Amino acid sequence: MDPARGSGRSHLAFGYGVHRCIGAELARMELRTAFPALVRRFPELRLAIDLAEVRFRRASIVFGLDSLPVRTT
């Protein structure tokens, strides 16, 4: 990477598109470790609401949930 390069046409991209967050893959790798560890630590982890009640974000460009209530017993 050379921030002083003369041309903006040649660039290094991580993933899809010029606006791709380079931390996105790090977050995926962390979650691949964290979720299995969470389930091992709390094997009785369950949704605290019915699956039909899970609400997804509406006004966001990022796919996700508003919240995900869980219980451990």
Q: What is the predicted pLDDT for the residue at 50?
A: 95
Cα separation, 45 vs 64, whole angstroms: 20
- Work out whether the CA dihedral 46, 49, 52, 55 comes out positive or negative: negative
pTM of the predicted structure, to 2 decimals: 0.55
Backbone phi, psi, residue 44, to 5°: -90, 10
Mean pLDDT by runs of 10 across the 73 residues of the chain is: 62 59 84 94 95 88 86 89
- In this prediction, residue 7 carries a pLDDT of 61
Tokens 């219980």 correspond to 71
